[in-house]
A and B are shown apart, each in its own frame.
Chain A
């Protein structure tokens, strides 16, 4: 079984809809991250969390919110999706003792029409 899983893997939705992307991990890591990847722009950090009570904004948090329901679960929400949020979304985990080596999930391809 994969250590970092993301659901759904693909999603097509319409402008204005609320969308939740979920991430679960079995690695026992404290730190979890959400990124989006766009052609020509690379990976950009949306939010990150170092433990259940710690949530931090990343480079591009506007239009997104997150919830750390448990150490192993970190969800990303788009309250009202817009077309420029069409992207490939990755969840990642890390553990400080490994000098923050990040392990990525398989990604969620989101299309907002």
Chain B
């Protein structure tokens, strides 16, 4: 199993809907988890980080972490066409190495 796995998509949602992105991780990744957004041809930019079980909300974004089930999710409420991008899930291990998933492509349809 790869350290961090994501469904590559593509995922399409209508404007205004909730987009749900999911990520699972292996036992090698246990410390902290991050969601990055990457527009085509651009560098990744951090959306949210989460370290503890439960939900963390920031504006239209909510990250969820379930350590027992080893999954991390990102919910985007009121999706906008500008949210169309590839979303990368990343985890950090105790040695401070980062492992990224392959990314999920999201398209928000106007």
Q: Find A102's partner among B98, B102, B103 (CB 8 Å cutoff).
A: B98
By secondary structure, the A interface counts as strand
Residue B25 is within 8 A (CB to CB) of chain A in the complex:
no
Number of B positions contacting A (CB below 8 A): 21
Residue B32 is within 8 A (CB to CB) of chain A in the complex:
yes
Residue A78 is within 8 A (CB to CB) of chain B in the complex:
no
Q: Which of A37-60 contact B (CB under 8 A)?
A: 40-45, 48, 50, 56, 58-59
Residue B61 is within 8 A (CB to CB) of chain A in the complex:
no
Decide: A101 and B46 in contact? CB cutoff 8 A: yes
Query: Which of chain B's residues have a CB closer than 8 A to the CB of A40?
Result: 8, 102
Question: Which of A11-19, A63-71, A104-112 lies at the interface?
Answer: A104-112
Q: Find B46's partner among A59, A102, A106 (CB 8 Å cutoff).
A: A102
The residue in chain B whose Cβ has the minimal distance to the Cβ of A31 is B96
A32 → B minimal CB distance (Å): 12
Decide: B96 and A43 in contact? CB cutoff 8 A: no
With A99-B32, A104-B43, A106-B43 known to touch, is A48 a contact of B97 (CB < 8 Å)?
yes
Query: Which of chain B's residues have a CB closer than 8 A to the CB of A101?
Result: 34, 46, 49
In the assembled complex, 19 residue pairs joining A and B whose CB atoms fall closer than 8 Å, in A order, are: A41-B102, A42-B88, A42-B100, A42-B102, A43-B44, A44-B100, A48-B96, A48-B97, A56-B97, A58-B97, A59-B97, A90-B43, A90-B44, A99-B32, A99-B49, A100-B96, A102-B44, A104-B45, A106-B42
